[in-house]
C-alpha cells in the first residue's frame, strides 16, 4: 500500500494506491458527498490488489484531503478535473472508474467529459438523480419508522414523498428527517452488518471528527453551487464506454426508475444484482463484489 497527500491542481488530495501499476488501473470514487474512501479500501484493497492497480482518493476537501478554505473557489467540476489531473500525474493512459453512490454521479459526469480517458465504468448503487434518490430514501426511512413504532414520523415521511419540492429540498428534507432514527439510521443503507469497518484501526474519534468537519463544508459548498441537483439520467444514452450497474436488493438509493433508465438507455450497459446487499455490496458481499469487479475490468 502507498498512501500520501498528492498535490493535484494545487490542492492536497489523499491518494491511496494498491497493487502493481502494471495491472489494469481502477479509480475508486466514494459517495456522500464527503464519505471518504476509507471503508472501501478497508474491505477491498487486499481483495483487488493482486489483479488491479487500485487508486482510491478522498475527493477535494473531504476527510483526509486538504480542507477547502473559506472563500476558496470550489465546485463540482473541480472533482472531475481532479480525477483527470491525477490520472496524468500517475502516468496512466487509461483507467476504469468505479463510483459508489454519489461517486456514481461523479463517474458518469467524468466519463461524459473525458470518454477517451476511461476504459470502463462501474456504478455501485449510484444516484444519477438526487430527487429520485431522496424519495427512495424517504420511503425506506418511513419503513424504519414503522419498524421502530414511530407512526407519526412514518406518516410524515410518506407525505413528503408525494410533496412537490425541488431536488435540493427533497435532499435536505430527507437528511433532517432521517436523523430521527438515531442509532438505527444506518439501517436505511446497510442490510448485512456481518462485515463491519474498523474506523479506529488507523484514526481516533477526534481525528474523524476533524475530518468530517471538512467533509461537511465540502457538501455545503456543493449544495450551494447546485450542480449536483441536476439529473444526469439523460446522459446515459450518450455514453459509448462499457458500463456496469451494480444494484443491491435492499438499496433505496438506486431506485426502480434509475434501473429502468439504465437498462433502456445505456448503449453498452450490463446490470448485476446483489441479492443480499443494501447500499454497499463492497462490504456486504465483499467476495462476490471482488469477483464481479475483477472479471469486468479485466475481460477484453
Are residues 125 and 139 both part of a single domain?
A: no
133-182 residue pLDDT tens: 999 999 999 999 999 999 999 999 999 999 999 999 999 999 999 999 99
Are residues 217 and 112 both part of a single domain?
A: yes
Given a cut of 90, is residue 82 above it in pLDDT?
A: yes
CATH of the domain at 217: 3.40.50.1820
Residue 192 lies in a domain: no
pLDDT of residue 1: 58
Range of the domain at 209: 2-129+197-298
**Residue where the block lists cell 481532479:** 82
Are residues 202 and 61 both part of a single domain?
A: yes
- Report, as an integer, the average pLDDT of 102-107: 99
Quickly count: other Cβ atoms within 10 Å of residue 168's Cβ: 16
Are residues 108 and 248 both part of a single domain?
A: yes
Dihedral pair phi/psi, residue 225, rounded to 5°: -65, -45
pLDDT of residue 78: 99
Q: CB–CB of 243/269 below 8 Å?
A: yes
In percent, the amount of the chain with pLDDT more than 90 equals: 98
Cis peptide before 141 (omega within 30 of 0): no
Residue 72, classified by CB atoms within 10 Å of its CB into exposed (0-12), middle (13-18) or buried (19+), is exposed
Given a cut of 90, is residue 2 above it in pLDDT?
A: no
Instruction: List the grid coordinates of 203.
Output: 484514526
Given a cut of 70, is residue 115 above it in pLDDT?
A: yes
pLDDT of residue 261: 98
226-237 residue pLDDT tens: 999 999 999 999
Domain count along the chain: 2
Amino acid at each position: 500500500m502507498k498512501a500520501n497527500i498528492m498535490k493535484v491542481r494545487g490542492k492536497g488530495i489523499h491518494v491511496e494506491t494498491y497493487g502493481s501499476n502494471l495491472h489494469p488501473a481502477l479509480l475508486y470514487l466514494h459517495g456522500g458527498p464527503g464519505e471518504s474512501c476509507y471503508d472501501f479500501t478497508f474491505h477491498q484493497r487486499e481483495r483487488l490488489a493482486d489483479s488491479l492497480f487500485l487508486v482510491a482518493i478522498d475527493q477535494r476537501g473531504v476527510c483526509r484531503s486538504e480542507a477547502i478554505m473559506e472563500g476558496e473557489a470550489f465546485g463540482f467540476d473541480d472533482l472531475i478535473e481532479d480525477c483527470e489531473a491525477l490520472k496524468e500525474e500517475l502516468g496512466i493512459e487509461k483507467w476504469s472508474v468505479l463510483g459508489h453512490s454519489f461517486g456514481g454521479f461523479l463517474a458518469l459526469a467524468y466519463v461524459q467529459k473525458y470518454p477517451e480517458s476511461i476504459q470502463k465504468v462501474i456504478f455501485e448503487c449510484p444516484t444519477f438523480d438526487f430527487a429520485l434518490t431522496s424519495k427512495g430514501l424517504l420511503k425506506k426511512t418511513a419503513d424504519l419508522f414503522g419498524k421502530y413504532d414511530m407512526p407519526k414520523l412514518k406518516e410524515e415521511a410518506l407525505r413528503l414523498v408525494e410533496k412537490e419540492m425541488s431536488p435540493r429540498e427533497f435532499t435536505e428534507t430527507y437528511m433532517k428527517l432521517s436523523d430521527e432514527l438515531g442509532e438505527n439510521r444506518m439501517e436505511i443503507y446497510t442490510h448485512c452488518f456481518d462485515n463491519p469497518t474498523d474506523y479506529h484501526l488507523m484514526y481516533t474519534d477526534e481525528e474523524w471528527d476533524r475530518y468530517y468537519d471538512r467533509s461537511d463544508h465540502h457538501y455545503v459548498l456543493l449544495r450551494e453551487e447546485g450542480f449536483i441537483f441536476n439529473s444526469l439520467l439523460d446522459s446515459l444514452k450518450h455514453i459509448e464506454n462499457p458500463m456496469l450497474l451494480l444494484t443491491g436488493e435492499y438499496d433505496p438509493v438506486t431506485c426502480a426508475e434509475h434501473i429502468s433508465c439504465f437498462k433502456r438507455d445505456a448503449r453498452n450497459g450490463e446490470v448485476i444484482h446483489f441479492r443480499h446487499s443494501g447500499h454497499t455490496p463492497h462490504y456486504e458481499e465483499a467476495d462476490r463484489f471482488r469477483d464481479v469487479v475483477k472479471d469486468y475490468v479485466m475481460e477484453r
